[in-house]
Amino acid sequence: MQSFTFSRFANRFKPSQKLFSNKLFTAVNMVVLGIESSCDETSIAILDNGKILSNKIYTQKEHTAFGGVVPEIASREHIKKIDRLYRNALEESGKTISDIELIAVTDRPGLAGALLVGISFASGLHTATGIPTIGVNHLEGHIASVMLENDVPFPLITLVVSGGHSSIYRINGFGEYEILGQTIDDAAGEAFDKVGKMIGFQYPAGRSIEECAKLHTGSELIDFPIGKVREHAGYNFSFSGLKTSVKYYAQKLSPEELEIQKPLICHSFQQAIIKAILNNLKDAVRDTGIANIAMVGGVACNGTIRDALKATFGESVWFPSPILCTDNAAMIAKAGLEAWNSGDRRFPSMQPTADISRKEFRK
Ligand code: KG4
Ligand code: ZN
């Protein structure tokens, strides 16, 4: 096996190479191996020159019976699956380990035991081969997901809506982030999952709620409240009141009534989420003067929410393909590549932080 040394790469990629503001800097062609294991998806991807050669994803089914992710089970399943996914990804890409020029691994934020599996795997490969290895913030991975298929314009208002996060960023270029707002309680995906559990869907419930909502015909709408965050709280979200309203509404129904009303409940809940998202995005667009918008993260799979954004903001809205919205290693490889090209050399180290601002992110 050909071995790589850091210095060989250090010569090619001088830390003095600067991120060119307001645009992506992917001038350097590298073959990147991405590794993601922060929650309940184990994923390995290979990118060549920013193009996806392989993006193998295993979504753990083992948590369904528990109605949510069980951390210890997640770690064990990652351990069982990661090596097979790695081999399959290499095979599909037509590459061997000696072709890999950079390893990018999620090292924050996430479940500690789950993160450790990916980081240990990356560290093992690094020790055996000397391939340069970089730690990636999972949220920055989600942000990079929209850059895999699209030449997105900057500045960009980006909404990250997943099972763990609901945040709005102003992005001036890769690595240049300003957080405009975030949830003060539940994440949007978490609200989908918890409401789904209340009305009888399995975890994760986002897709089931979207499908069930489509069965609702007519104009009837339950007026579930959208979290009203204090006036001066910027562009923050609150979804816990909405979740509690659905709970009280569903509790009053008999099992038969609940079954009949499920499409109406799902539709009304989803519309409340859409209203909250649109309100904040409209305010952010008005106040910043930035018309370009991206939506990323698992909830961005939702076609009804996508359609609502398109109807409101037209052509200037960007989404990754659904397979790149939920957790995957291609987005981690992309974020690692962009970070590396901007001069970042942070070796993976576990941190619980979700902060992606440069000062915290580079520690
Ligand atoms: O990004 P992701 O895979 O994991 C985290 O980083 O959290 O997002 C998972 C979340 C889950 O809460 C799931 O219910 C939600 O994304 N989700 C959806 C849809 N598909 C997945 N939410 C709404 N509609 C969907 N179609
Ligand atoms: Zn995620």
Dump pLDDT digits (tens) for 190-220: 999 999 999 999 999 999 999 999 999 989 9
- Give the closest ligand to the alpha carbon of residue 324: 1
Is residue 350 in some structural domain?
no
117: number of Cβ within 10 Å: 23
Tell me how far the alpha carbon of residue 157 lies from the centroid of ligand 2, in angstroms: 18
Domain count for the chain, please give it. Answer: 2
**Distance of alpha carbon 174 from alpha carbon 336, whole angstroms:** 11
Token digits of residue 121: 């795997």
Residue 96 sits in the same domain as residue 181? no
| CB-CB contact of 79 with 322 (8 Å) | no
- Give the residue with greater pLDDT, 250 vs 12: 250
Residue 41 sits in the same domain as residue 124? yes
Q: Which of 82-86, 225-229, 283-287, 338-342 has the lowest mean pLDDT?
A: 225-229
The pLDDT-based confidence of 20 (bands split at 50, 70, 90) is very low
Tell me: the pLDDT tens digits for 277-316?
Answer: 999 999 999 999 999 999 999 999 999 999 999 999 999 9
**pLDDT for position 352:** 67
Tell me how far the alpha carbon of residue 139 lies from the centroid of ligand 2, in angstroms: 7
- What 8-state DSSP symbol labels residue 202? P
For a pLDDT cut of 70, what percent of the chain falls above it?
88
Residue 28 sits in the same domain as residue 99? yes
Is residue 110 in some structural domain?
yes
Token digits of residue 345: 């050399």
Tell me how far the alpha carbon of residue 173 lies from the centroid of ligand 2, in angstroms: 21
**Distance of alpha carbon 293 from alpha carbon 153, whole angstroms:** 9
Is residue 197 in some structural domain?
yes
Is residue 355 in some structural domain?
no
Q: Would the pLDDT of 9 be above 50?
A: no
Tell me how far the alpha carbon of residue 216 lies from the centroid of ligand 2, in angstroms: 29
Is residue 296 in some structural domain?
yes
**pLDDT for position 168:** 97
* Domain residue limits at 78: 6-145+325-341
Residue 228 sits in the same domain as residue 211? yes
Is residue 360 in some structural domain?
no
The answer to whether the CB of 39 is under 6 A from ligand 1 is yes
The answer to whether the CB of 299 is under 6 A from ligand 1 is yes
State the closest ligand 1 atom to the C-alpha of 142, by its place in the atom list counted from 1: 1
- What 8-state DSSP symbol labels residue 226? P
Closest CA to 343 of 48, 52, 134, 149: 134
Residue 334 sits in the same domain as residue 241? no
State the closest ligand 1 atom to the C-alpha of 164, by its place in the atom list counted from 1: 7
Residue 224 sits in the same domain as residue 163? yes
Q: Would the pLDDT of 26 be above 90?
A: no
Tell me: the pLDDT tens digits for 223-259?
Answer: 998 876 655 567 999 999 999 999 999 999 999 999 9
Tell me how far the alpha carbon of residue 353 lies from the centroid of ligand 2, in angstroms: 14
The answer to whether the CB of 162 is under 6 A from ligand 1 is yes
Residue 220 sits in the same domain as residue 280? yes
Q: Would the pLDDT of 2 be above 90?
A: no
| CB-CB contact of 161 with 336 (8 Å) | no
Name 160's bridge partners.
167, 296
Is residue 109 in some structural domain?
yes
Tell me how far the alpha carbon of residue 328 lies from the centroid of ligand 2, in angstroms: 8
Residue 309 sits in the same domain as residue 334? no
Best residue among 108, 145, 207, 331 to mutate for probing ligand 1, ranked by most atoms within 8 Å of CB: 207
Q: Counting runs of H as helices and runs of E as strands, what totals does the chain give?
A: 12, 10
**Which residues have a Cβ under 8 Å from the Cβ of 12 and sit 6 or more positions away?**
28
Tell me how far the alpha carbon of residue 196 lies from the centroid of ligand 2, in angstroms: 19
Residue 131 sits in the same domain as residue 235? no
The answer to whether the CB of 139 is under 6 A from ligand 1 is no
Closest CA to 177 of 134, 135, 132, 142: 142
Residue 277 sits in the same domain as residue 230? yes
State the closest ligand 1 atom to the C-alpha of 165, by its place in the atom list counted from 1: 7
The answer to whether the CB of 298 is under 6 A from ligand 1 is yes
- DSSP per residue over 10-49, as a string? HHHS-TTPPPPTTS----S--EEEEEE-SSSEEEEEEEET
Residue 10 sits in the same domain as residue 121? yes
The answer to whether the CB of 137 is under 6 A from ligand 1 is no
Going through the chain in order, the beta strands assigned E by DSSP cover 31-36, 41-48, 51-59, 102-108, 133-137, 156-161, 166-173, 176-182, 293-296, 317-318
**pLDDT for position 359:** 53
- What 8-state DSSP symbol labels residue 340? H
Q: What's the Cα-to-Cα distance from 267 to each of 96, 309, 336, rounded to whole Å?
A: 48, 16, 38
| CB-CB contact of 246 with 269 (8 Å) | yes
Tell me how far the alpha carbon of residue 193 lies from the centroid of ligand 2, in angstroms: 14
Pairing of strands 133-137, 102-108: parallel
**pLDDT for position 319:** 97
**Distance of alpha carbon 220 from alpha carbon 175, whole angstroms:** 44
Supply the CATH number for residue 225's domain. Answer: 3.30.420.40
Q: Would the pLDDT of 115 be above 80?
A: yes
User: If you average pLDDT over every residue of the chain, what do you get?
Assistant: 89
| CB-CB contact of 43 with 327 (8 Å) | yes
| CB-CB contact of 104 with 35 (8 Å) | yes
Is residue 284 in some structural domain?
yes
**pLDDT for position 29:** 82
- Give the closest ligand to the alpha carbon of residue 335: 2
**pLDDT for position 357:** 63
Best residue among 142, 301, 304 to mutate for probing ligand 1, ranked by most atoms within 8 Å of CB: 301
Residue 137 sits in the same domain as residue 261? no
- What 8-state DSSP symbol labels residue 237? B
Pick the residue whose CA is nearest to atom 7 on ligand 1. Answer: 163
